[in-house]
Structures are given as structure tokens and as C-alpha cells.
Structure 1
Amino acid sequence: MYRYDEFDAAFVGGRVAQFSDQVRRRLSGELNEDQFRPLRLMNGLYLQLHAYMLRIAVPYGTMSSRQLRKLAHIARVYDRGYGHFTTRQNIQFNWPRLKDIPAILDELASVEMHAIQTSGNCIRNITTDQFAGAAADEIIDPRPVAEILRQWSSLHPEFTFLPRKFKIAMTGAPNDRAAIRFHDIGLQAVANASGEIGWEVWVGGGLGRTPMIGKLINSFVPHEHLLAYLESILRVYNRYGRRDNKYKARIKILVHEEGLETIKGQVEAEFAEVRGGVLTLPQAELDRINAYFAPPAFEALAAQKIDVARELILDPAYGRWLEHNLHSHRQPGYVSVTVSLKPIGGAPGDATAEQMEAVADLAERYSFDELRVTHEQNLVLPHVRISDLRAVYDALVAAQLADGNSGLITDMIACPGLDYCALANARSIPIAQAISQKFASEERQKEIGDLKIKISGCINACGHHHVGHIGILGVEKKGGELYQITLGGDATENASVGKILGPGFEADAVPDAIERLVDTYVSRRESPAETFIAAFRRLGDAPFKEALYGAG
């Protein structure tokens, strides 16, 4: 796990001091809100509906116990006792007072954290697979490269004021758990014919009002040339990206309007100039960063089978947790554990200070002092011995974090929506809560199986509704809230954008509408093994439309 060096510490400390003075000037009236806005956005501070919101970076989703305890402390002392984990693997606090922001940033700096690049038209926090460095299907741990990209992009002099915000995601596994095809740049580790590992580069993906699947611009970029290649893409985008219309300013629009081959030609021309120069990564630097991410001191354990069927009989709740919340590990005798932040009737992604402290304690004791934030708004203990699972589960039960629903219908993504966000048209959290309560039965959830619902409160799609197997978009109509339903989205390597089925629904009608869709799936699937997304692709949207709107 990366540790700040002297440069990192000085850099973050200097930024804290700088922003502290800017806050002082805003509070004294020397700066008005218009003058303060670009300064606060460069430090992750938003002005929401009711208060300021501070978004804190969790680079590539990796944290230590010490850092999570600090977040719990901030939640308790400076906020209302909880934090919200986001789809960019960050955490945000919705109720800090402006006068306290310098103190919060100073507290964060003491544990090697900050809020830089969580807002503004810059390269945002780089995200990865939540099981990076642990997953059995992984080709390479992407986090060392993500750390190099973080250092390269931090206050990059050419890319601090891009046409629009810019998001990068990466995975080291063939199974995409980082939604790389829906990012401005997506990176996937691959091996060439000689067995050398490099990066497949996808460009021009994104959600928002114009969802697009990224296009493959290069099938193999070696490690040592990745910075040069990404810099080439950013230069082309910075030069030609639309600055006259913020709705057309993302690189996805540039790629769409100019065509992939045109953009590729421009990128290759830039790359030819910079390849072999100062952006070439020397092996010594790669080795230095890799050393920070060396595997923990695993015990040499024999492979161990978990008897889920037995536990389902002896202790059904524990059995369900084992069945759904574990992920296979590359090290025999270990698994990765998903800690669900989706309790029945809860706000997806929220965790109290006490719950954060409980997870920090578990990470310190059972997971080599390491934990992860997922882009699906959960937490992960990446390295847990199978023999410790019962102890971990019991502690999660005590913290009210033991829901065994990872990947099931109640494991929803939802943005904060109109309860907090000034951009939202509709509420997201109450819709998620109502659906969660509708499908609270654990037997019903198991019968349905793998089904991803994603909810956004506006067209900006912070809840990723476009890539939900079932997506829900809140819109404003005649002063009220209406919810459109989409089907068929998929954020994996089989990427697809969901299709709007028809007219929207009032808020209180949404849970029943979702139930009709689910009932149609269950009655029409070929077998319980056929997932919702597979059934939808086989059946098409006609039976689902009929379930919602009747025969046309």
C-alpha cells in the first residue's frame, strides 16, 4: 500500500495551507461566492442544496485502518455522524461547516489523505477493481500503475483546466469489475503473444445525458510507454475538446464526432513525438512503486472448501453471507469479503462513524490492515483467512453490516439525489429504500439471483442508471418527480447501455413496476441459472414492456 514520500507530504501540506487562507478570505468577505467557487472545487468542496459537501479522494479505492478511523472521526466531529461512499471509490461528507474545512483537510493530511482532484475539470480520482491484488482471475495488480498515474496527473500543468472532467478506470483482470468501457479512458491488463503484460486502452466511454461505450484505440501499450500514450490522448482532447458547450465537452463527443480513426491518428502522431522521452517509465521506478504493493505476509495454507450448503442449514443468515459476499482469492486459504452498505431500507453507500470504526478494526485484525471502497458503494476486506470468516461475520452482525446481499436486487447503486444535490431533478434514496423493502425477503432475493439496479436523480447519471440491468432515472415533469425505467444495461466486459421502456412512473408506483419486471423474468427464464441480463438479451424488451404497460 502506497505511503507518502517527502514530496507528497509537502505537496498536500502546502495545499492545505493555501486553501485555509482562501477559506479565511471567503468567511471575511474578501472573496465572494463566485470568486471562491473555482478555488473550492479544486479542493473537493461543493455547495449542495442545504450545505457544503466535501468529497475526499480514496486513490484506486485502497485505504488503511488508520485512514478509515480518521474518516470516522471526521464524521463524528465535523459532520452528522456518517459518510457516503461514492461510485468513484471516494467518500463524501454532506454537512461540514465552511469554517471547519481547513481543520478537516489538516486532519486528512495527517493520515496521507486529501480532497484534490475530486472535482473540477481535471483528471479525477483513478478507480480500479475492488479486488485488485487479490482476485484469482487477475493478470496483474493494477494499483501500482494507478499510483503512477495519480502522481503524473496531480496538478498536471497542461491538464488542470480541461474542457471537462476526465475519468480513468483500470482493471488487471479479464472480468471487468471497474466499468472501464464507460470511462473517458479505460485500461485493461493484457498479455501479448510473447507473454509480456501491457494495457488495452479504451477511449470515449461515459454516461450522463449521452451514454456511450468506449472504443478500443490501442490493443497493447507496454508498461513503460503508458504515460506517454495517455499524455498523447489528453493532449488531443485538451486541444480539440469542445469548450463552447459543456454538454459536448467530454472526450466521448470528440471521438464520436471526429471518428475513432481520426482521433487515433492524432494520438499516434503525438505518441511518436513523446515516446522514448521523459515520460518513459524506467524499470527502477516501476520496481520502486511495485514494492509498495507487495503482497502481504500470507500464511502457507492449504486450499479449503467452504461448505455453504451446510451453513445454510445450520445458520441460514451466515450461509447466505458466505454464498454472496465472498470472492475467490489468488492465495490458498484466503478470500475477499464484501461488506455490504445496503441494509434493507437504508441509504445505499452510507456508513456511520461507528460502522467505519468496526470495519477498520476488522481490517486491522483480519485483513493485513487493508480495505477497499468499491464503485458499487460497498467496502471490501481483501485478504481474509477462511478460518476467520465466522469471527468477521459475527463482528459485522454486531455493527449491522452483515447483509448477505452482494450482487442481489437489494445491492443497489443510488446517487444522493434531490435530498442533497443541487443538480438533481428527483430523489434517489427513497426510491432505493422502497425497492429494498419490497424485496426484503432473503428467499425472494435468492430466487431472483444476480440483478443490478442503479438509480440516478438526474441525467448526469451519478447512479450509473444507464448500465443497470434495471436502471431508474428521476426526471422533473410539471414540477413533480417522475421515474423512467431502462432495461439491459451492463457495465462489465459485455458492456451495453439500457433502453428506455416507455413513459415514467410516479415515485410510489416504482417498486410495483420493478416487481412486475422481476416477475416477468422469473416466469420466462429458461432455468434459475439464467440471469436477468441473459434473459433480457434472449427475450428482448417486448414481454417486459407488456408487463409494465399492457399489450400495445
Structure 2
Amino acid sequence: MAATSEPANAAKSRRKAGRHRGEGQWAVGHFTPLNGNEQVKKDDDGLHVRTRIETIYSQRGFDSIDPADLRGRMRWWGLYTQRKPGIDGGKTAVLEPEELDDRYFMMRVRIDGGRLSVAQLRAIGEVSEQYARGTADITDRQNVQLHWVRIEDVPAIWEKLEAVGLSTTEACGDCPRVIIGSPVAGIAADEIIDGTPAVREIHDRYIGSKEFSNLPRKFKTAVSGSPVQDVVHEINDVAFVGVVHPEHGPGFDLWVGGGLSTNPRLAERLGTWVPLDEVAEVWAGVVGIFRDYGYRRLRTRARLKFLVADWGPEKFRQVLEDEYLERKLVDGPAPEEPVSRWRDHIGVHRQNDGRYYVGFAPRVGRVDGATLTKIAELAATHGCDRLATTVEQKMIILDVAQERVDALVDGLENLGFQVNPSPFRRGTMACTGIEFCKLAIVETKGRGAALIEELERRMPEFDEPLTINLNGCPNACARIQTADIGLKGQLMLNAEGEQVEGYQVHLGGALGLQAGFGRKVRGLKVTADELPDYVERVLRRFQEQREPGERFAAWTARAGEEDLT
């Protein structure tokens, strides 16, 4: 028996290989599509749909669109059907996609690094006014989203955007999404290294290329050389974080495998130092691993974080070096923990050239086309051509001469934007919500704006850094697990037994300073109507019980459940 038995380690390896083939990994020879999404991508590359949009769908109208393009490939060009008005949250998971689809689209304008010129912002504003009923939302990935877009108008919108160097290419879909970057790259006085050349090189070499246009799912990238670590690197698939090597000088620390949704996971360091001119090559290696080894069988496991969790950072680095880069990477130090408790660049700040940048706060990222155009004109009037969006749904005007700062601040205030906002306006974010999103269960944007106003009225003295993130469903687009107060939308029963909109509460999440996920108190749910009362109650207990200098997240970690309800 012993002579014919398979060695235990060989059997284990065989079982492991079989399991990975079952995950649909290309690198082990499994190219047969294991679900409908993979079949759609195999049938035709998502990038090809643009030709059909321009030559067929925009000419013949919404009813001419192939369903596989409508709910699949059109995402590669930044287009999702939006939610049909009047469908309540209780039907989100019940209705078929065609029942939820409206005949209009959300369009996502890709803004890599968050950088905009006056002409580009003006063009977005004009597109919004002409083709999107004036809608415009700044996202937490530095993009701008428009709504109410008709398929007939898409080619004209592309023409207008591309004339100023903007695009919607791979703004959605199973491909490399927008590359988020420090909004003050190249100008911040305390910057470690300017990542702008790397962002530009990745975009120019790989975005829109078929090399990476069929990934297992979306792929998110962050690049920042700022010491405040202003690109939420801990929750991206790949991130390059500014660091100084004791021998080689400024470069980037490489992180992989972060992500939120229903299975949140913080990214892990690979322990490498990457010089600026190698960032794009290393990025392509990481994306190549995801393309070839990523899990394609189940959509719920088709993110890089699951592969990193199974492999561990040591194996991931080994595969990256041996199979994709064919060289060893330099070992490097970890970045220092940021000192600043705000990482959003709001306010007036001196640049490294003696000029200033001015960060201001829209409420929960919601603006409109006419206002975007006014912001562009305000920047131009004050002698600057560069603006930026942030990962906190805020905006920045760069390169302002000192003598023009006060006038610019006044102009922004006249438009309803605050340069010195309350912590509530500064720290509250909200996803799209049920107004337009087909996955949402509850309303978010209006609820977030109303919460800000109510808290400002009730607690004008509150001046501690605080993040409040509202999400319309469990998918965590608004990063609820990493907020001081994270609110996950759901339906619940009120005191009268009626089904109403509400939120499950997460408390004490953080990124940057002691990054971690928020605490869920058993059974802690709050109806939408009760939300202002609840937040005020918890914040007042924090004020009463906190130790000197204690952050809200630290207090929630030690507070009793009775103090958090």
C-alpha cells in the first residue's frame, strides 16, 4: 500500500491546482468562461462597443442596443443605465435588470490624478447643462458623474470632452479604472515625490489598450507622493505611496490587495521600493498577475484582494519578480504614519513656488453643470488654469497668487462653497444612492446634505475631525467601513412597525492614522428620520467622555455599547 500511495504533499498540490483551475484562472490554462460576464467579454472586447454606439445605437435609439452591450460592454466607455424613477428600495433585489433600467445613462468622466484645466471643467459643465439636465456629482475617486444622458447624445458628448483632453475610456468595466492621485502633486510644500509622471505614463501606455481590457473585475489604482497619504491607498488594488529610501532617496512603497464592499480587506505592503521611472512597469506587472491569476469563476471573488489573501504578500512579490518583471525589486522602508488628521487639502495652503492652493467643500460631492462652469470662470478670473478633485468629493483651485486669495475665497463663498467648513460639511460623503443607482436601497445625497445642515445647527461648537459616510447599499462605494461613522443603507421597521429607510451603523473606522474597519454594535440600526438625533447623541457622549487629544475612532473602540446606541 505504501509503495503505491501518492505522497501527501503531492496530493495536496494536486488538490490545490484543481481548486485554482476551478476558479477560472487563465495562468493555469482555464480559459473557458465560467459565468455570463466572462462569456460576454470573450465574445467581444468591451472596447469594441464604441463603434456600435457611434454607428448604430446613437442612430437607432435605446431599443436597438444589444442587452450584452447595454448591461456589460458599455461600461468600458463609462456608461451605466440608471435606475428607473419611482422604484422603491424593497424592489432592488427582486426586479430583473430590464425592469430596473431606465432609458437614460449615468456617464462617468475619467479624471486621472484628479487634475483639470479650466477648459476641461468648463467643458464638463457645458456637457452637463446641454445633455445631462444639469447634473454633476464629484465622486470619491476624483471623477465626475453625469445623469440623464441619452444614447443619441453620447457621440456628441465624447467629441466635446475629447476636444479638451478628457475621456470616458474604461471609466467603468472589468478594466483599470481611473488612477487616483494626490490633487496637489507637484506643488505641495511638504511633498516627498511628485507622482504625476507615473500617473501620466500608466494612462498613456495602458488605458484603452487590449492588454488589460479583460480583467476578472475592476482594478483600482492610487499613486501619491504626499506625506499625508491622500489617496486612500489602503483600499486600492494597487497603490504607490511616497517614501524616502535611506540609500536611494525618494520613491514609492508598493501596496496590493485592498478593497471594501461586503468583504473588506486592507492592502498589504510588498516591502519594496519603486523608483518613479519604474512605477508604470511595476503597475503593469501587478495588473498582469490579476489578469492571469485572478479568480474568474465567481464575481464575488473576482477581485485582487482574494488572490492576495490566498497567496500572501511574499508569494505575490515572488511571482511579480520572477514571472512579470524578471528581476528583483529593491527592499524598502514603510512610509511614516501621517501626522495630519485631515487629508483632504481643504483651506488655503502655500505651494512650493510661493503661490497658494485653495480647497473648498461642496456638500456630499453634489454640484451642477452651471456651478461647475462658474467655478471654472472663477479660477480663470483669478489667474489660474489648474483645478483638482479629491477622494473626499471636494475640489481645489491651484496656483493662486497671494494677492488674489481673499477675492477667490469670497467668490467661492458666493457660490455656496466653504473654504473653512464645519467638520460635518468637510467630512461627510455620500454615494449616488437610490435616486440613480440600480443597486441602492435608500436615498443618500439629500439625506447627507440635510444631516450636515442639522448637525451644524445643533452642534456649532464641534470642531474635531470627523468623517460620516452614507452608502445606499452594502457595496461600500462611499467607504462606510473606514469612516468614523459609517452608515450602510437598508430597509427596517420603525417604532410603528412600518417599513422605512434606515442605516446599519459602523463606528470608528479609519484610514491613515491607525487604519482599520469600523465597529458594528449588535443590532444598532437607525431610521433615516432618527439619524440626526442619533449622531448628535453619540457625538455629545464622545465630547463628555474623551481623553485629552483622543480621536473619535479611538473613543468608540473603548466605549461601552450603551454609549454607542
TM-score (norm 2): 0.79
Of the candidates 404, 423, 432, which is equivalent to residue 439 of structure 2?
A: 423
Shift of 1:16: 6.4
- Any idea what the Cα deviations from partners look like across 1:259-311, whole Å, max 9, x if unmatched? 222222211212442789xxxxxxxxxxxxxxxxxxxxxxxxxxxxxxxxxxx
Q: Does 1:197 align with 2:250?
A: yes
Match of 1:243 among 272, 296, 303: 296
Partner residue of 2:471 out of 434, 456, 459: 456
Contact 1:182 1:205 survives alignment (8 Å): yes
Provide Cα deviations, 1:195-250, integer angstroms capped at 9, x if missing partner. 43221100001111111110001330223332332222222222221111111111
For residues 419 and 31 of structure 1, what CA distance do their matches in structure 2 show? Answer: 24
Q: How far off is 1:482 after superposition?
A: 2.9
Specify which of 337, 360, 364 is matched with residue 376 of structure 2. 360
Give SS of 1:132's match. Answer: coil
Partner Cα separation in structure 2 for residue 431 and residue 399 of structure 1:
21
Q: Which residue of 1 aligns with 2:311?
A: 258
Per-residue CA deviations over 1:21-56 (Å, capped at 9, x if unaligned) read 242366285543334433321110101103311111
Q: In the alignment, residue 115 of structure 2 is paired with which amino acid?
A: T
The question of whether the paired residues in 2 share the 8 Å contact of 1:180 and 1:187 is answered with: yes
Partner of 1:331: 353
The residue aligned with 2:486 is 471
Q: 1:407–1:492: structure 2 CA closer, same or farther, 3 Å change rule?
A: farther
Q: Deviations 1:283-341 (Å, cap 9, x if unpaired)?
A: xxxxxxxxxxxxxxxxxxxxxxxxxxxxxxxxxxxxxxxx9622343233x33211211
1:373-452 → structure 2 map (5 Å cutoff): 373-402=389-418, 404-405=420-421, 407-408=423-424, 411-441=427-457, 444-452=459-467
Contact 2:58 2:151 in 1 (8 A): no
Structure 2: how far apart are the matches of 1:126 and 1:406? 29
Show the 5 A alignment for 1:474-493: 474-477=489-492, 480-492=500-512
SS of match in other structure, 2:177:
coil
Partners in 1 of 2:423 and 2:456 — Cα distance?
14
Matched residue, 1:44: 78
Secondary structure (helix, strand or coil) at the match of 2:396 reads: strand
User: 1:523: how far off?
Assistant: 0.9
Quote how far apart the aligned CAs of 1:547 are.
2.6
**Code of the aligned partner of 1:426:** V
Distance in 1 between residues matched to 2:500 and 2:515, nearest whole Å: 33
- Tell whether the 8 Å contact from 2:235 to 2:260 is kept in structure 1 after alignment: yes
Letter in 2 for 1:397: E
1:180 maps to which residue? Answer: 233
Contact 1:242-1:248 at 8 Å conserved across structures = yes
Measure how far apart 1:107 and its partner are. 0.9
Measured in 1, the distance between the counterparts of 2:62 and 2:357 equals: 49
| Structure 1 residue 17: Cα displacement | 5.9
- Deviation, 1:143, is 1.4
2:195 and 2:276 in contact (8 A); partners too: no
Q: Does 1:268 align with 2:321?
A: yes
CA contact (8 A) 1:405 1:411 kept: no
> Which residue pairs with 1:6 in the alignment?
none
Report if aligned partners of 1:470, 1:486 keep a CA contact under 8 Å in 2: yes
Distance 1:228 1:356 in 2: 36
Deviation at 1:445, TM superposition (A): 4.4
Once the 2 structures are TM-superposed, how far is the Cα of residue 483 of structure 1 from its aligned partner? 0.6
Q: Please tell me whether the aligned partners of residues 79 and 95 of structure 1 are also in contact (alpha carbons under 8 angstroms).
A: yes
1:542 paired with 2:555, answer: no
1:509 corresponds to 2:524: no
Classify 1:505/1:444 alpha carbon distance in 2 versus 1 (closer, same or farther; 3 Å): closer
Corresponding position of 1:284: none
Structure-2 separation of matches of 1:22 and 1:179: 40
The answer to whether the 8 Å contact 2:257/2:268 transfers is yes
Per the alignment, residue 315 of structure 1 pairs with none
Query: Which segment drifts farther, 364-373 or 77-86?
Result: 364-373
Q: Structure 1: which 5+ residue stretches go unaligned?
A: 1-12, 277-322, 343-347
**Secondary structure of 1:448's partner?**
coil
Give secondary structure in 2 for the equivalent of 1:533. helix
Q: Distance in 2 between matches of 1:24 and 1:249?
A: 32
Structure 2 counterpart of 1:499, from 514, 519, 524: 519
- The equivalent residue for 1:307 is none
Deviations 1:170-210 (A, max 9, x none): 11122211101110001112221224322110000111111
The answer as to whether partners of 2:62 and 2:151 remain within 8 angstroms in 1 is no
Which residue in 2 is equivalent to 1:53? 106
CA RMSD of superposed structures (Å): 2.5
Change (3 A) 1:259 1:375: same
Q: Which has the higher strand share?
A: 2
**Against the structure 1 CA distance between its residues 232 and 26, is the aligned structure 2 distance closer, same or farther, given a 3 Å change threshold?**
farther
- 3-state SS of paired residue (1:394): helix
Q: Distance in 2 between matches of 1:15 and 1:36?
A: 10
TM-aligned CA deviation for residue 407 of structure 1: 4.8
Q: Of 212, 229, 243, which aligns to 1:159?
A: 212
TM-score after normalising by structure 1: 0.81
Contact 1:410/1:440 (<8 A) preserved: no
Report SS of the residue matched to 2:271.
strand
Q: Which residue of 2 aligns with 1:112?
A: 165
1:22–1:36 contact (8 Å) kept in structure 2:
no
Residue pair 2:409, 2:419 contacting (<8 A) in 1 also: no
Q: Residues 70-109 of structure 1, C-alpha deviation per residue, up to 9 Å, x if partnerless?
A: 1111111112223111111110111111211111111111
CA distance in 1, matches of 2:279, 2:358: 32
| Residues 54 and 94, structure 1, Cα contact 8 Å, conserved in 2 | yes
Distance 1:112 1:183 in 2: 25
What does the per-residue CA deviation read over 1:352-402, in whole Å, with 9 as the maximum and x for residues that have no partner? 223212211222233520000111111101222332222012211322223
Over the matched positions of the two proteins, sequence identity in percent amounts to 28
Q: Is the 8 A contact 1:26 1:36 kept in 2?
A: no
Alignment partners' CA distance in 2, 1:406 and 1:324: 11
For the 8 Å contact 1:225–1:275, the answer to whether it is kept is no
1:162–1:324 distance in 2 versus 1, CA, 3 Å: closer
Aligned partners of 1:15 and 1:238: how far apart in 2? 21
Equivalent pair of 1:448/1:522 in contact (CA under 8 Å): no
Distance 1:40 1:148, change over 3 A: same
- In 1, the alpha carbon distance for the partners of 2:173 and 2:60 equals 19
Q: Which segment drifts farther, 377-386 or 178-187?
A: 377-386
Question: Which residue is 1:97 aligned to?
Answer: 150
C-alpha distance in 1 between matches for 2:377 and 2:398: 14
| C-alpha separation in 1, matches of 2:56 and 2:460 | 50
2:19 is aligned with 1:19: no
| Residue identity matched to 2:429 | I
| Greater shift in the superposed pair: 118-127 or 222-231 | 222-231
- C-alpha displacement of 1:446: 4.7
Contact 1:431 1:510 in 2 (8 A): no
Does the CA-based 8 Å contact 2:77-2:172 persist in structure 1?
yes
CA distance in 2: counterparts of 1:200 and 1:525, whole angstroms:
34
Q: Does the 8 Å contact 2:358/2:419 carry over to 1?
A: no
